[in-house]
Amino acid sequence: MEVFEAISQRRSIRRFKEEDVDESLIEKIVQSGVWAPSAGNLQSWELILVKNPQTREKLSEAAYLRDFIAKAPLVMVPCVNLIVSGGVYGTRGVKLYSLQDVSCAIENMLLMAHALGLGTCWVGAFDEQLVIDLLEIPDNIRPVALIPLGYPDEKPYPPPRRDLDDFIHFERY
């Protein structure tokens, strides 16, 4: 699939078929994440892949009962490593670069998933401590999103986007 087609036609998917996702596709998606740019090429991210149905159910509860999370065959939990990003770049590394880096990796994964005929949804609203406890995430690692992945069982309309004129500023703000 062409780049602009993937970028413009990717949608958030909240209904999934029960069909499992082949390991080779998951590997291709994760590999796309790896190629994201990162500050100083630190790649200060970690990724937890959850298939266990009980764990997915609990992730759904941690995300304020969004039950489509539990219904996807796989949930990806991208995390940042605060020691790696902070060790080199201090506070700016922890509070800015590491979040930017993992976000690029996630966006790459969403685009690749769409290009492979799969659907995802970026879930940002969840109780971090519940997820940390559930997935036994150590102190220096922070989960930053829950990304259910599976074959889409809906075809949502594109949500509206701002006009370019509305947010582009020339030479100064």
> Measured between alpha carbons, how far is 167 from 1 in angstroms, rounded to an integer?
28
Distances (CA, A) of 89 to 34, 79, 80, 106, 170: 20, 18, 14, 21, 31
User: Would you tell me which residues interact with its own copies (CB under 8 A)?
Assistant: 1-4, 6-8, 10, 12, 27-28, 30-32, 34-37, 39, 41, 43, 45-52, 55, 79, 89, 92, 95-97, 99-100, 103-104, 106-108, 110-112, 115, 122, 124-125, 134-138, 141, 144-145, 159-162, 164, 167-173
Q: Which is nearer to its own copies, 41 or 155 (CB)?
A: 41
Smallest distance, Å, CB 143 to its own copies?
A: 9
Q: Which is nearer to its own copies, 19 or 27 (CB)?
A: 27
Q: Which is nearer to its own copies, 116 or 151 (CB)?
A: 116
Q: Which is nearer to its own copies, 155 or 171 (CB)?
A: 171
Q: Is 167 exposed, middle or buried (0-12, 13-18, 19+ CB in 10 A)?
A: exposed
> Measured between alpha carbons, how far is 138 from 127 in angstroms, rounded to an integer?
16
Bridging pattern class, strands 119-120 and 45-50: unpaired
Distances (CA, A) of 146 to 50, 75, 84: 10, 7, 21
> Measured between alpha carbons, how far is 44 from 40 in angstroms, rounded to an integer?
10
Smallest distance, Å, CB 84 to its own copies?
A: 11
Q: Which is nearer to its own copies, 7 or 22 (CB)?
A: 7
Smallest distance, Å, CB 12 to its own copies?
A: 6
Smallest distance, Å, CB 89 to its own copies?
A: 8
